[in-house]
Structures are given as structure tokens and as C-alpha cells.
Amino acid sequence: MKAVLEYWPAFLQGLWVTVWVSVCIILLGALGGVVLGALRLSKTPVIRAATTFFIECVRGPSGLVWMFWVFYALPLIPGMPQLSAVGASILVLAVGGAAYGSEIVRAGIESVHLGQSDACHALGLSKLHSFTRVVLPQALSQIVPAFGSMARDMIKWTAIVSFVGVHDVLYVADYVRSQTFQTFTVYCLVAAAYWILCLICALAFLALEQVLPLNRALRAARVSAQSAANAHALGGAAP
């Protein structure tokens, strides 16, 4: 254990890389998921079909295959850029998160009653305003819990970035293991690091759920109903 602790600064640096990549892919994946999920429900058949085709293309091969293709094969095409290892990793994992998250967004949007959209149309609101101001805020109460679960998986997806040379916590752990031969200790530390990151992510999304507009309105309605019930009970108990 003492030999492993000598590499503690390297572990912290690798952990920071893992955190940075995780935050980037979760935020970008959430944004992309909202866009793709909305396009999946487009009333234009061409847009809907093109979006579905793109999503299925992304979800078909594994993330590791896409990462190898973007990092190693894409630069061989004339005119294509050579992305850094971190850039390629964030791009691939964020697009993958957006593709999987789009189905969560689609289901959340479909859970909102169609009467809401009809009411927006009757009030003269544009489709964009109807979506951003009325439909999406209500759908978030369904989207956020499901995406929070997927975000924890996305943190674990970052383990594959070491295959293209990103010095994340797993990359550092492999190096430390090869130097100290403390395989059990090293991988216990790595497992603990991922567990802590996933726990922090879960708590963050739980806090986010509490501030969603629809959830706040439901809590206020429950408090109001409980207060009314208590007042009625006290009134009935009075002589």
C-alpha cells in the first residue's frame, strides 16, 4: 500500500481528467439528447427519418469502435482534422450519450398531454416557444431521473478513453500497477473512485429534480392540500 501511495499525485491527476471528461460528455450529451429527441418527434417525415437513421448509426457499433475510428481512421480521410485524444473521446462519448438520451427525451415529451400543445397553438405561440416554455419544462420531470441514471453509466463509459492514450484514472492505475505489482490495491482504489463519482452524480441529479418547475408545483399542491385537510380536521374536532 505504501508503494501505491507514492503515486497519489498521479492518481489525483488521472481522477481530474476523468471528472473533466465526464462533466463534458454529460452536459453535451444532455443538450444533444434534447435536440435529437425533439427532432425524432418532428412532423416532417424526412427530418424524423434522418434523425432516426443517425441515432441508429451511432448506437450500432460500440463506443470503443467509434473512438478508434474517429481518432485513428478519420484523419486518413483528406480534409479531415486530427483530433486530440481528449477531443476525440469527448466527441464520441457525447454523441453516444445524445443518441441514447434522445429516446429518454422522446418518451418524456410524449408523456406531456397533447392538449398542452393545442393550448399553446390556440394562444398563438410558435412551435419553438411552445416546446421550450410549456412542453419541455413539464417533460423534464420524466427526463431528468432517467437521464440521471444514464449519466452514471456515462461516467463509467470514460474508462475506454485510456485506449486512445487519455491519461484518465484507469490509465494511471494501469501504470501504477505495472510499477508496484499491487494489482488488488490499485484496482480497489479505482473502483472506489468510480463509485464516489457515481454517488456524487446521483446526488447532483437528485438535487436537480427538486428544483424542476413541475415538481415544485406538485410539492406546493401537496402542502396546500395537507394544510386544507388539517384545517378541516381541526374544524371538525372543534365543539
- The ranges assigned to domains in the chain are 2-234
Query: For residues 182 and 204, what is the distance between their CA atoms, to the nearest angstrom?
Result: 33
Of the chain, the percentage scoring pLDDT greater than 90 comes to 42
Give just the sign of the alpha carbon dihedral 12, 13, 16, 18: negative
Task: Determine phi and psi for 191, rounding to 5 degrees.
Answer: -60, -40
In CATH, what number does 2-234 get?
1.10.3720.10
Q: What is the pLDDT of residue 89?
A: 93
Q: % helix / strand / coil in the chain, to the nearest 5?
A: 85, 0, 15
Residue in 161, 173, 165, 160 with CA at minimum distance from that of residue 10: 173
Query: pLDDT digit string (tens) for 105-124?
Result: 988 888 877 776 667 777 77
Query: pLDDT digit string (tens) for 134-191?
Result: 777 778 888 888 899 999 999 999 999 999 989 999 999 888 888 888 888 888 999 9
Query: For residues 25 and 102, what is the distance between their CA atoms, to the nearest angstrom?
Result: 14
Cell of 227: 394544510
Of 24 and 225, the structure prediction assigns the larger pLDDT to 24
